[in-house]
Structures are given as structure tokens and as C-alpha cells.
Structure 1
Amino acid sequence: MMSNGDTTSTAPENRKDRFAMLTFERDVAAPLSVLWHAWTAPAARMVWAAPTPSVTVEFLEADSRVGGREVSLCKVAGQPDIRCEVGWLELQPALRSVNYEVISSEGVTQSAALVTADFSGTDKRSRLAVTVQLSSLAENMEAGYRQGFGAGLDNLAGVAERTMVLERVIQAPRTLVWGAWMNPETLPQWWGPDGFSCRTTRIDLRTGGEWVFDMIAPDGTVFPNHHRYGEVRPEERIGYTLLWGENGPKHADAWALFEDLDGATKVTLGMVFTTVAEFQDAKGFGAEELGQQTLGKLERFVASR
């Protein structure tokens, strides 16, 4: 599944062990492009961020662009919340990211770090090498960083291995593409693979909203669906949860990104399946091709407007 190569180089004792260089390496059984999206997409980061089941991570802000920041709270029962602020300094897709990270608790800064992540790989496997330049203001931060980062990257590798990413460039302005997607009148008209139709029970395409609907196959088979929208950033991205039918079991955490490309729009649709088995089942019945058919219907719908 993966291999670990975590090491630490600590500054001399006369610097009071406040500075350390930590390195982490992971080999991941997922395509390079998928690993990159699992590392940067807020919806995916929310899945793998908690290092252990006893930690709950609440995201207050999430903007994965150069100059953007991510603010989260790590919560452990009986302990003060830990605030983590990440600021993105460099993002070279599928190559490198650089960010700062500041950890604080009860208003007191505990550490600051510069995190550099280098990516390499193919459409089959990928590799992530992370360097953390840590400056501690509180004691024992190095050990906590080593443990927390190591566990988080293990989670990341597991998430990447059950993530599906689809991309399509649509020759239409982003405003039109977004409008076709996030309009309760038009979304049901094109959503789904070729030959499928949608029957809506209720739809509210806002943060905190939901879409309860049936997808109906050409042979009449009905597939109940429930999408819950956790984030809507106009003309930029949406984050939502897929459920098997109304209030049913979670199927996947998903996101859609909309990028302007000189008047065209690059749409990226990502899904972190709940289990590896569900991911493998989805691949087995052709979910990637069916997803591309859905994006193709979106492209044709926009072209017809």
C-alpha cells in the first residue's frame, strides 16, 4: 500500500531543541494527479486531516490557492482546542506545494513551520516527499509534529487510494458553466450518464442545502440519491456528500472545481469513496466513463444555451 521514510534532524542542544528538520516520504498506489488533488482539495483534506479517531478536526476556512489560507481546530475531549493556520505560498500542480503552518492554543502560539511537499509519479503510482522546517515556541512540539504528520500522511495515502478524479475542459465561460450546474432548474436536466434522467424530490443548491432525487436508468431502474452541500463558493468550487438515498449511508465525499482558462472552463470532479471496496466497485462498473458522460452532457447543455 505505501512505504514510510520519516526522519528527523534536530538542531544542536544549545538552541534548546526549538528547531528541527523533519522529513516524511510516502509511496502511494494512486495516480500522481489524484495524489495532488487529495493533498490540496479542501473536501479531501477534511477527510484525512485528523491523525487519529480520537481527534475531531473542524475547518473554519479553506482556500487552497496561492495567497489563500486554511484554518482548522483540532478537538480532543477534555483538552483545549488546537488552532492550525495554513497559508499557501506556492502551488505547482502535481509538482510542489509550499505552505506555512502556525499552531496555537488558547491564543498562545506554540510553533511555526515551513512545509514543502514534492510530488512525482505516473498514472499508476505516485510519491510524496514532505520537508517540515519546524520552529517551536512550546516544549515537546517536535515529537507531536513527527507523530501527527506521520499519521496524517498515512491517512492521506489511504484517501488517495480510494479517490477518483475526473477532468474536462468545456469551451464556455465559467459563469455559464457554473450557472448550469448550480441552478435548481437546469442541474436535473443534464446530471447523470447518457440515457439517464433525474426525478427531483427537493433541491436547494446552497451551503447547508441538499438535493434529494432519483436517477433513472434507460431500462427504468431507479437509483435513489441524496447530495448534501457543505460548501458553495460561487464560480470556484462546491463540496458535498453523496448518500445512498435520502439520509442513507454515506457513499463518498465529493467536490467540483471550476477554473477559468482564457474563456474556457476546466471542471474537476473529485470523489473520496467511503471504503476501498466501494472505490473498486465503482471502477468495476465503469464509474469513470459514466462520470465523463455526465460532464459531456454538461458540455452539450452549455453549448445549447
Structure 2
Amino acid sequence: MTIDPAISGAPSAADDGAGCRFATLTFTRDIAAPAATLWHAWTDPAARAIWAAPSPAVIVDIVEADTRAGGREISLCKVEGAPDIRCECGWLALQPPERSVNYEVIASADVTRSAALVTADIAGSGARSRLVVTVQLAAFTADIESGYRQGFGAGLDNLAETAARTMVLERVIRAPRPAVWGAWMNPETLPQWWGPDGFSCRTRRIDLRAGGEWVFDMIAPDGTVFPNHHRYQEVQPERRIGYELLWGEDGPKHADAWAAFEDLGGATKVTLGMIFSTAAAFEDAKGFGAIELGHQTLGKLERFIGSR
């Protein structure tokens, strides 16, 4: 993976005479991921919660997320012993997988510290892509410009690393969104279709809600048993779910995942994303055919819905 951590050009800045400084910052990253994958890593809240923290000492908690033009995302950056930093991101334009435009307002201790217009442009060919982010910043406190440059730059370094271990699968299913959601989020039907061709599921516990879990075994055609544990963190009915994938009950986590459901007027676009815990785990997954097996799983979902 090639990363260009430098800011392209020095920021230009001006002062309005009332203590507000204006600056334009430009960040460029070359990323070892296709443009479509980078788009999902840039925009999906499950991914943004992973890469947005500029350092391990910072925890990013996304408390509201609506990734649509006109929607907004509210997140809290938490550092032990310091006031939370609140970030409001409002999506103004989304043109997948090429461009997004959003506003961003940063506040802490009930004081607005900055406002910005953020434009992200993505271009790519094959397995690589380039991200150019332009930030038009209005800084209301003296330290925010340098802090913004450093924090945003560190976050984009994290994004490059995260996108390189992200797998995204998409399928348009010829069924209304309520039917697709119902097949996925019903404890009776989910185990009937989940898994690649020839696999079956043996459920131990299942509770498909935020804070719930599904503990189950996937059984291969040759009888090999693969223990699994899904922990559900986010459930937005008929829109998206977010969950963790563990190797067996309370075992090591191997991926953060999400599924999004988009209404296409009688059909439904399903996007299944997985951010593997390490780049090595992602390479191992690709090596044993995880992409094809994932597509088989979505194919089973479509056939299951069509048979009902």
C-alpha cells in the first residue's frame, strides 16, 4: 500500500478580523482498494467509527447516522480526562463512488470550534484508487487549524489502512425491501438461507436486535463444523444492521460487518460489508474464496425469497 501523508500544498489562511480564521486544506491518499470499496469505507458509519479516531487514545462513538443526501451523522470523540468532542456531519451530496460533499461542525464543552465544507473525490482503476479531500475550514479557536490538519490527516491514514482490509459485496434482489428485510431479520428464516451453497446452520441462540446475538454453527457439505458468533450493535429497520463476527461463542473477533438495504422501487439493493481485523486475515479470507462464498450466500437469500 502506498500512502502519501503530505498535504498537497500549504494551506491558505485569512482572518476576518473577528478572530475567525479561514483555511483551505487538501489531503491526498493513494489507497490499495478499488474505488467502490473505498467509497463504502469513506461513507459507511460502521467503517467511519473504525478509522476516524486519530490515535488509539481516542474512541469514536457514532450516536446517529443517516448516510443519505440531506441526512446527518453525529459522533463523539472521547478521550479519558477530557471533554467529549462532538462532530456533526451533514451529507449535502453523495455521488457513489466518485464524490461526496458534507458540512462538518466541531464543538466541545458547548463551544463551536470550527465549521467546514468537506469535498471528497475518488478516482480509481482496478484494485487501486486515489482519494482527494478538500476542506474549506472556518476556525473559531486559535488551535483548531493545526489540530484539524493533524487529526484529519491521521484519520485518513487510518482510512487507507481500513479500506485495504475491507470486502464489499452487492446484489440487487428482485423483491421489495420489506420482504428482503423480513427474510434477514427473522430468527426463523435467517438460519434457513445463511451461508454458501451446500452449507447449513445449527442455531444455539438467536436474538436479532441491537444488543442481541446469534450463536450458531455453520456446517460444510463434508460435515466440518465452523462455530460462529454474531453480536448485533445497530438495527435500523429495513435500512441497515451493524454487527461483529467472532470465531465461536465469545471467541476472537475477525471482522466488523454491516448490511444495508436500498429500495429500488420493487427491487432491493443489498450491500454486505466486512472490515477484517487485520490485513492478513483479509488475505486469508480471499485465499479460501470468501468473496465467491459471500456472493453465494446472497444468491441463496434471493432464491429463498423467490421460493416463498
Same fold (TM over 0.5): yes
In the alignment, is the contact (CA less than 8 A) between 1:8 and 1:20 conserved in 2? no
1:238 is matched with 241
In the alignment, residue 30 of structure 1 is paired with which amino acid?
Answer: A
Per-residue CA distance 1:124-159 (angstroms, 9 max, x = gap): 100100000000111111100100000000000000
User: Is 1:4–1:27's contact at 8 Å kept on the other side of the alignment?
Assistant: no
Q: Which runs of 4+ in 1 moved over 3 A?
A: 12-17
Q: Which amino acid aligns with 2:280?
A: A
Percent identity, please.
73
How big is the alpha-carbon RMSD for the aligned residues of Structure 1 and Structure 2? 1.1
Alignment equivalent of 1:71, drawn from 71, 74, 92: 74
Matches within 5 A, 1:133-212: 133-212=136-215
2:12 maps to amino acid: T
Q: What does residue 92 of structure 1 align with?
A: 95
Answer whether contact 1:33 1:123 (CA < 8 A) is retained.
no
Mapping of 1:263-278 within 5 angstroms? 263-278=266-281
* Deviation for aligned residue 1:9: 2.0
Alpha-carbon offset, residue 4 of structure 1: 2.8
Instruction: State the 1:14 CA deviation.
Output: 6.6
Residues 181-229 of structure 1, C-alpha deviation per residue, up to 9 Å, x if partnerless? 0000000000000000000000000111100000000111000000001
Equivalent in the alignment of 1:10: 12
What residue number does 1:255 align with? Answer: 258
Shift of 1:252: 0.2
Q: Which residue among 117, 125, 129 is the counterpart of 1:126?
A: 129
SS at match of 1:11: strand
Q: Is the 8 A contact 2:20 2:140 kept in 1?
A: no
Contact persistence 1:136–1:142 (CA under 8 A) = yes
1:111 aligns to what SS in structure 2?
A: strand
CA displacement at 1:11 relative to structure 2: 2.2
Distance 1:34 1:76 in 2: 30
- What TM-score comes out, normalization by structure 2 length? 0.97
Superposed displacement of residue 13, structure 1:
5.5
Q: Which amino acid aligns with 1:226?
A: H
In 2, Cα distance between the equivalents of 1:74 and 1:283? Answer: 33
Q: How far apart in 1 are the matches of 2:33 and 2:6?
A: 18
The equivalent position to 2:23 in structure 1, one of 20, 25, 29, is 20
1:194 maps to a residue whose letter is D
Separation in structure 2 between the aligned mates of residue 12 and residue 249 of structure 1, nearest angstrom: 50
Which of 223, 229, 232 aligns to 2:232? It is: 229
SS at match of 1:257: strand
Query: Gapped runs of 5+ residues in structure 2?
Result: none
- The 3-state SS of whatever aligns with 2:156 is helix
Q: Is the 8 A contact 1:10 1:17 kept in 2?
A: no
Shift of 1:257: 0.8
Provide, for residues 66-121 of structure 1, a one-character-per-residue CA deviation record: whole Å limited to 9, x for no partner. 11111111111221111111111000001100011111111111110100001100
The count of corresponding residues between Structure 1 and Structure 2 is 305
- What TM-score results when the alignment is normalised by the length of structure 1? 0.98
Amino acid at match of 2:287: G
The counterpart of 2:108, out of the listed 101, 105, 110, is 105
Q: Distance in 1 between matches of 2:241 and 2:250?
A: 20
